[in-house]
Amino acid sequence: GAVVSQHPSRVICKSGTSVKIECRSLDFQATTMFWYRQFPKQSLMLMATSNEGSKATYEQGVEKDKFLINHASLTLSTLTVTSAHPEDSSFYICSARGPRDRSEKLFFGSGTQLSVL
Amino acid sequence: SQKIEQNSEALNIQEGKTATLTCNYTNYSPAYLQWYRQDPGRGPVFLLLIRENEKEKRKERLKVTFDTTLKQSLFHITASQPADSATYLCAETTDSWGKLQFGAGTQVVVTP
């Protein structure tokens, strides 16, 4: 099956700093990737849809300038949390639809636990 | 707008029994529903997909049903094992890009 690799798995940072999370499709090309956020005991909330070579589409209520998404190649999308604050502490997960975006199911990365002090 | 509702209470079940989880949607009937498993601190893993015109889908010990009249999907784990302990998420596709809207998930705890 398609493999999505996400790094880092865990990051602790000081308030005000920026953190970059990488999401790679290892054995397939992904035109579209999705970024989700999950708070403890809650569901995954879609943050944005990342499209290769174009600007990301953000969900309502998600700050574009705070959560910068770059999808520069068919195998890599990055999420940068800028000027992080404690309320940004959460579990961030990326996903892709699989080879050539033809799969209806999503393949998820292992997630990144962000803790902002 | 569409909401995906799952029972938030954990389901405690004895090994060997069948676990049944419920997923209800509130508005339109989705073209298909998907079920995922999520372990603590990990990303979800796809389990099963059932289309609107399918009544039932099976995969090994897993079974999913789709009832458009009741606006409900049921997820069954038969002959449950402690290794089945996890949170199970129901999701529907909201657009042509394939982005999913998830329910809150139901935690299943299988005790020996």
Across the interface, whether the CB atoms of B102 and A104 are under 8 A apart is answered: no
- pLDDT for position B31: 80
Q: Give the confidence band of A101 by pLDDT, cuts at 50, 70, 90.
A: low
What does the alpha-carbon distance between residue A6 and residue A9 come to, in Å, rounded to a whole number?
7
Q: Give the confidence band of A27 by pLDDT, cuts at 50, 70, 90.
A: confident
* A114: helix, strand or coil: strand
Q: Of A46, A91, A113, which has the smallest distance from its Cβ to B99's Cβ?
A: A46
Which of A21, A41, A43 to substitute to test the interface with B, most B CBs within 10 Å?
A: A43
- pLDDT for position A102: 63
* Interface residue A56 vs chain B (CB under 8 A): no
Across the interface, whether the CB atoms of A43 and B41 are under 8 A apart is answered: no
What does the alpha-carbon distance between residue A66 and residue A62 come to, in Å, rounded to a whole number?
8
Longest pairwise C-alpha distance within chain B: 43
Contacting residues for B15 by C-beta, under 8 A, at least 6 apart: B80, B81, B82, B110, B111, B112
Q: Tens digit of pLDDT for each residue in B55-104?
A: 899 999 999 999 989 999 999 999 999 999 999 999 998 676 678 899 99
Question: Which comes out higher in pLDDT, residue B38 or B30?
Answer: B38
Q: Tens digit of pLDDT for each residue in B48-62?
A: 999 888 989 999 999
User: B110 is written with which tokens?
Assistant: 């299988």
Angle at A24 between CA A20 and CA A30, to 5 degrees: 125
Q: Is B74 exposed, middle or buried (0-12, 13-18, 19+ CB in 10 A)?
A: middle
Q: Is B14 exposed, middle or buried (0-12, 13-18, 19+ CB in 10 A)?
A: exposed
- Beta strand A44-51 with A57-58 is antiparallel
